């Protein structure tokens, strides 16, 4: 029997598995072999983790990154039951969570899991408020093997070129990439904007950049190597999001040795509070000013995010997993 059956929604949510194995845990990432604990590393894997736990008699650990306010509103969960190996849901005619029962099933699972973990204090508070569940805060990591500072000569070459403002995130409304374009249009110093990500807002952002007269490229198919190099090529990384559960982009930027300007939201404050310049939402003048200051500033010390490396997160996870496994 394995210690853990790990359900990852992508490569990132399995990032610490090799280190946890090195620390002594036996972990399966596929198959039906019995395990003492099923670990669902996102809401998207919650149902798979739950089904495995029910089939194999395992306990379930659910990791929730966030509960987006736009996805749930102030509604209530639909009634949900687990019957004969499947979920049965009765949609509310009004006032429900919506999204095809996703959040209602998540509510059901979270309230019955052995434990719920979250990365940030904000997500901890929202899980308590929305689901009535006390979650343990266990911050995850960034890819510390991939995001490292460039050498000094490479950074000097960046400062000699037309400064690039980089934003890495999905192209969705709450990520607020439009704020970067508005701020760039206000700046006296010429800059170009580089957006890396995919999503439904691409056409809108392209049109806005054209109207504002801001040189802008949008890359929707960048691979891991391209993203890592993009941080090194950036003069400033701008993170204007309205909502995050963890806030990975500013962490990666600090680790890469690049100045960071970020929206003043709780997870940004929590994880890069000593390493970024913060600006209020919906203030393009303040954002333009902060970017201008960052262009001439030294980047923060990457050591400020040392507690978010793969090794540090694995040590955190191990300590809390051992308490669950010892029950």
**Same CATH fold, 152-305 and 2-141+309-325?**
yes
pLDDT in tens, the chain (327 residues): 999 999 999 999 999 999 999 999 999 999 999 999 999 999 999 999 999 999 999 999 999 999 987 766 668 899 999 999 999 999 988 888 877 899 999 999 999 999 999 999 999 999 999 999 999 999 999 999 999 998 765 555 555 578 999 999 999 999 999 999 999 999 999 999 999 999 999 999 999 999 999 999 999 999 999 999 999 999 999 999 999 999 999 999 999 999 999 999 999 999 999 999 999 999 999 999 999 999 999 998 999 999 999 999 999 999 999 999 998
The pLDDT assigned to 73 comes to 62
DSSP 143-196: -TTT--PPPHHHHHHHHHSPPEEEEES---GGG-THHHHHHHHH-SS--EEEEE
CATH of 152-305, picked from 3.40.50.2000, 3.40.50.300, 3.30.470.20, 3.40.50.720, is 3.40.50.2000
Angle (CA) 292-190-258 rounded to 5° is: 45
d(Cα 155, Cα 181) in Å, to the nearest integer? 24
The pLDDT assigned to 154 comes to 57
Provide CB contacts within 8 A for 118, sequence distance 6+: 63, 64, 65, 124, 127, 135, 136, 137, 138, 245
Beta bridge partner(s), residue 166? 194, 237
The pLDDT assigned to 327 comes to 80
Q: Which residue has the tokens 């802008």?
A: 216
Give this prediction's pTM: 0.94
d(Cα 92, Cα 219) in Å, to the nearest integer? 40
CATH topology of domain 2-141+309-325: Rossmann fold (3.40.50)
The pLDDT assigned to 71 comes to 67
The pLDDT assigned to 156 comes to 57
DSSP 208-241: HHHHHT--EEEESS--HHHHHHHHHH-SEEEE--
Instruction: Tell me the chain's radius of gyration from C-alpha atoms.
Output: 21
Question: Domain spans of the chain?
Answer: 2-141+309-325, 152-305
By C-alpha distance, which of 198, 160, 148, 151 is closest to 177? 198
What does the block give as tokens for 110?
């979270």
């Amino acid at each position: 029997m394995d210690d853990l059956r790990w359900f990852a929604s992508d490569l990132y949510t399995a990032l610490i598995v090799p280190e946890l194995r090195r620390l002594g845990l036996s972990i399966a990432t596929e198959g039906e072999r019995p395990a003492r604990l099923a670990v669902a590393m996102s809401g998207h894997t919650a149902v798979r983790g739950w089904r495995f736990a029910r089939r194999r008699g395992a306990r379930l650990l659910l990791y929730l990154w966030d509960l987006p306010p736009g996805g749930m509103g102030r509604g209530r969960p639909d009634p949900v039951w687990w019957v004969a190996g499947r979920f049965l849901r009765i949609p509310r005619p009004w006032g429900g969570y919506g999204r095809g029962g996703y959040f209602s099933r998540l509510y059901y699972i979270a309230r019955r899991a052995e434990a719920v973990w979250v990365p940030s204090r904000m997500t901890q508070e929202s899980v308590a408020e929305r689901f009535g569940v006390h979650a343990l805060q266990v911050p995850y990591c960034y890819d510390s093997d991939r995001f490292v500072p460039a050498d000094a000569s490479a950074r000097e070459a960046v400062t000699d070129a037309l400064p690039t403002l980089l934003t890495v995130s999905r192209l969705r409304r709450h990520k607020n990439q439009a704020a970067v374009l508005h701020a760039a249009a206000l700046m006296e110093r010429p800059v170009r904007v580089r957006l890396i990500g995919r999503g439904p807002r691409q056409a809108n952002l392209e049109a806005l950049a054209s109207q504002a007269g801001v040189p802008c490229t949008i890359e929707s198919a960048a691979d891991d190597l391209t993203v890592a190099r993009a941080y090194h090529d950036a003069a400033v990384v701008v993170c204007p999001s309205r909502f995050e559960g963890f806030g990975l982009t500013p962490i990666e930027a600090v680790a890469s040795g690049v100045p960071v300007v970020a929206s003043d939201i709780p997870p940004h404050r929590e994880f890069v509070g000593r390493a970024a310049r913060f600006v209020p939402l919906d203030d393009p003048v303040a954002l333009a000013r902060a970017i201008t200051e960052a262009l001439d500033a030294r980047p923060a010390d990457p050591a400020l995010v040392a507690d978010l490396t793969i090794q540090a997160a694995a040590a955190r996870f191990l300590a809390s997993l051992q308490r669950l496994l010892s029950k």
